[in-house]
Amino acid sequence: MGISEVAAIEQLNAEFYGAFEDGDLDRMAQVWADDKDADGGVVCVHPGGPMIRGRGAVLRSWALIMANTSYIQFVLTDVLTRISGDIAVLTCAENIITASDEDGAGFAAGGHVATTNVFIRTNDGWRMWLHHGSPVMLRGDVE
């Protein structure tokens, strides 16, 4: 594992959040792997949501979230990347500034999200295979 490969993963990770911030579904679609590259299809868990499997359903979820997000910005902290074989696992904390439409639905998050992002190596380079974000609601807790 070279440092350059970690840098490539973190650049793709930044592109994932950049696509979301810009509300650019085409860029988001480029980030995600095809289902054929991913056993069982790509996987996405939005904060508070169920596990969504398959590229079609995942991209539809992003279209809906982007349509209901007028402004969102991410500052990532505590980023750690581990690569083995054709899988890279990146964990981080998302610190979010957001504004949603009044009628916005389907996205329950704000403030702080704990995230696991998994990338796979494809013929077209690294692509996102799994995004799992979960709301951080507890304080003064188990740590």
Output 26 or 39, the one with its CB closest to its own copies.
39
Residues 65 and 106 sit within 8 Å (Cβ to Cβ): yes
Output 30 or 61, the one with its CB closest to its own copies.
61
**Least spacing, CB of residue 30 vs its own copies, in Å:** 20
Note the maximum CA span of the chain: 46
Would you tell me which residues interact with its own copies (CB under 8 A)?
38-40, 43, 45-53, 57, 60-61, 64-65, 78, 80, 82, 84-87, 89, 91, 93, 105-108, 112, 114, 116, 118, 120, 129-130, 132-138, 141-143
- What is the sign, positive or negative, of the torsion defined by CA atoms of 53, 57, 59, 62? negative
Output 89 or 96, the one with its CB closest to its own copies.
89
**Least spacing, CB of residue 54 vs its own copies, in Å:** 10
**Least spacing, CB of residue 19 vs its own copies, in Å:** 17
Quote the tokens at residue 57: 């359903």
C-alpha to C-alpha distance for 39 and 18, rounded to whole angstroms: 26
C-alpha to C-alpha distance for 35 and 42, rounded to whole angstroms: 6
